[in-house]
A and B are shown apart, each in its own frame.
Chain A
Amino acid sequence: MAINTDKNGYTIFFAIIMVVVVGSVLAFLASGLSERIKENERFEKQQNILYAMGVNENTPDSGVNFIPTDVVEEKFNEKIKEQYILINGEIKKDDQAFALDVKKQIAAFKSGKEAKLPIFVGEKEGEEIYVLPMYGKGLWDAIWGFISVNKNMVVQGVYFDHKGETAGLGANIKLRFFMDDFIGESLLDGNSYSGITVSKTNNDPLNEDKEDNEVDAIAGSTITGNGVTAMIKETLKAYKPYLETIRTK
């Protein structure tokens, strides 16, 4: 007997069955894959932190080459010596700093609420390097990353990423030619924390002038570049109490 699919009762019955089936399939999939997805996210974060402190597999002509996923956990434990959190201007040692949701914590800091800001202290070639997470806003959506400095506030490396900047334009902030320009720049101008400006007027394509607190912008991505500048300045504002302590060490 053919089903009369035009009846209202049947339509409601079909909709309910469909929602239950689809909901079950997606719930099953999400629970089955969530562990693996979380593990991938953890490895990615470790790769990004190590990249920002200059631990990577880049060659002079290569693109961005992270430490491979299968060894990144081991490398992270070897290179990152301490983890801290900055809370209400006080610094506390905390091995769980890695697990903090930077997006939430920085949003809390910006709105004046209590925030736990993570800090990673690594060691590279005998020198202590301080890695700070960043979170900001690009043209279309969020941008984020990590910046590492030594005790003289000279940048050792950065890593930037984005959610939805324009492919070929703002999305290029995560390419090596842009990120490499930050290495060697100082966060200080004299004695004040000026940060680094992504400048359209720097006019220094190879970025050899490291004393100007400026790096070259990417053509066609002014707002994403401004977002990067603002993100670094916000990070400095948030972490200033900690940076002051390491400068006077």
Chain B
Amino acid sequence: MALLSKKDTNLILDPLADNNPITIQVLGICSALAITAELKASLVMAISVIFVMGVGNVVISLLRNVIPSKIRIIAQLIVVATLVIVVDQVLKAFAYELSKTLSVFVGLIITNCIIMGRFEAFALGNGVWRSFLDGIGNALGYGVILVIIGFFRELLGSGTLFGIPVLGDPIAKTGLYSIGYENNGFMIIPPAALIVVGIIIWVQRSRNPALVEEN
């Protein structure tokens, strides 16, 4: 017997492409703009969101029959804020260097619309296992886009990947810089992320015209 049914597999795979939370649902844009100037920050943010969203969906699914509807948003916020504090404290205790890189960004997870969106749209109405898969799938979909944006922004903006120079030394003019290439400072500021997201959306929809909305 396969571990995952076809429906379960789709919960993981759909958000990676045809139902991506960033490029199709246009959620989580704020954090995608804020943290993608460096690839390392993008990757660790993605991992943190996978944890928060996977566990958060499980908790909300477990509590779905006992959460009062009047305060369900507050209850969801408490769950996500608690998980974010747990991630922050555990990173500070066991991965201190990483926690410093991410200090501001981990807090930003609380404001991530995708998490509240999945709690509200899926975990409140589905069982624990499927909610877990939905959380992991959506967080992976978010993470993939973050890593793609981080890759282009850091490469074109700073000439590095994970902080390692890959295009040469811009001060001593080695590598690509020796033939006149310059780092594009615009890529480091948040609006550049919007342009990269726009290009990803364009590529995705031109490859799959079914994703294009009709007017």
Mark A residues whose CB is within 8 Å of B.
Answer: 3, 5-6, 10-11, 14-15, 18-19, 22, 25-26, 29-30, 33, 36-37, 40, 43-44, 63, 163-164, 166-169, 177, 205-206, 219-220
Contacts and interface: CB of A to CB of B under 8 A. Distances in A.
Contacts of A220: 185, 188-189
A40 B99 CA distance: 11
B171 A40 contact: no
A205 B171 contact: yes
Nearest to A63: B163
B80 to A, nearest CB: 11
Interface stretch (B19-27, B82-90, B113-121, B138-146): B82-90
B103 interface: yes
Interface residues of B, number: 35
Contact of B89 (A30, A43, A219): A30
B3 interface: no
A5 B90 contact: no
B70 A6 contact: yes
B93 A33 contact: yes
Nearest to B190: A166
B37 A36 contact: no
B41 A11 contact: no
Contacts of B89: 29-30, 33, 37
Interface of B: 35, 37-38, 41, 65-71, 74-75, 78, 82, 85-86, 89-90, 92-94, 96, 100, 103-104, 153-154, 157-158, 163, 171, 185, 188-189
A14 B67 contact: yes
Given A3-B65, A219-B185, A220-B185, A40 B96 contact: yes
Contact of B71 (A3, A11, A205): A11
A6 B69 contact: yes
B2 to A, nearest CB: 35
B37 A168 contact: yes
The DSSP consensus for interface residues of chain B is helix
Contacts of A25: 82, 86
Nearest to B165: A61
13 contacts: A3-B65, A5-B66, A6-B69, A15-B74, A26-B86, A30-B89, A37-B89, A37-B92, A40-B96, A44-B96, A167-B41, A206-B171, A220-B188
A167 B65 contact: no
A36 B93 contact: yes
* Most chain A C-beta atoms within 10 Å of own C-beta, residue among B70, B78, B86: B70
A40 B66 contact: no
Given A167-B37, A168-B38, 6 more contacts: A11-B68, A18-B78, A33-B89, A40-B92, A166-B189, A167-B38
A3 B158 contact: no
A19 B41 CA distance: 32
